[in-house]
Amino acid sequence: MNGIAIAVSRNTEHAFSKFNQESIRLLTGLGVEGDAHIGAKVKHRSRVAIDPTQPNLRQVHLIHAELHDELRAADFIVSAGQMGENITTRGIDLLGLPTGTRLHIGDLAIVELTGLRNPCSQLDRFQPGLMAAVLGRDEQGKLIRKAGVMGIVAVGGEVRPGDPIRIELPPEPHQPLDRV
């Protein structure tokens, strides 16, 4: 179940999309160097408005390229970084991983998954109907959030497109990812 990083992105400003880079540097306990969401305390505007002292569990945003494929098949125009992710992956069922999973990316970096990205209305401002397209329901009617996962930087390092990603599951019992 290993995968690959196919794109890495950041944006110094609080904007919906991020710009593809040749590499990004992950800083332990902080996030992506040069990204607007870097910091030990929460940086997402909606979360800051509620409590700026809460820990930043959303330092790194990852989306699986397979979601982009699905969205393009539904006539959306999306590419790596446009939905705000820092790392676009391929070959990993990100949404199916448990909380606390460690993704070893490239030579050194380790991102520990904290939860699911909760899609917001910015998706519809980017492309009408996109928010509904990244939400679904399972057989029991439970909401499925498909807009990627969030994590913290457990070990810093440089990440580049083409870097392998190795999955390290946490000890059992596993807890499913929930919105963070």
Q: Give the distance from CA 154 to its chain's centroid.
A: 15
Looking at per-residue confidence, does 112 or 122 come out higher? 112
Q: What SS3 state is found at 71? A: helix
Query: pTM, whole model, 2 decimals?
Result: 0.95
Alpha-carbon separation of residue 139 from 27, 136, 142 (angstroms): 40, 10, 7
CATH class as words, domain 3-168:
mainly beta
pLDDT tens track for 84-120: 999 999 999 999 999 999 999 999 999 999 999 988 8
Q: Do 2 and 91 touch, CB atoms closer than 8 A?
A: yes
What's the pLDDT at 28? 98
Say if strands 109-116 and 102-105 run parallel, antiparallel, or are unpaired: antiparallel
C-alpha span between 157 and 60 (Å, rounded): 13
DSSP for 75-139 reads: T----TTTTS-SEEEES--GGGSBTT-EEEETTTEEEEEEEE----THHHHHSTTHHHHTEEE-T
Q: Do 32 and 155 touch, CB atoms closer than 8 A?
A: no
Q: Do 65 and 89 touch, CB atoms closer than 8 A?
A: yes
pLDDT tens track for 1-50: 689 999 999 999 989 899 999 999 999 999 999 999 999 999 877 888 88
Q: Domain residues of the chain, as ranges? A: 3-168
C-alpha span between 14 and 169 (Å, rounded): 32
Single-letter code of the amino acid located at 114: T
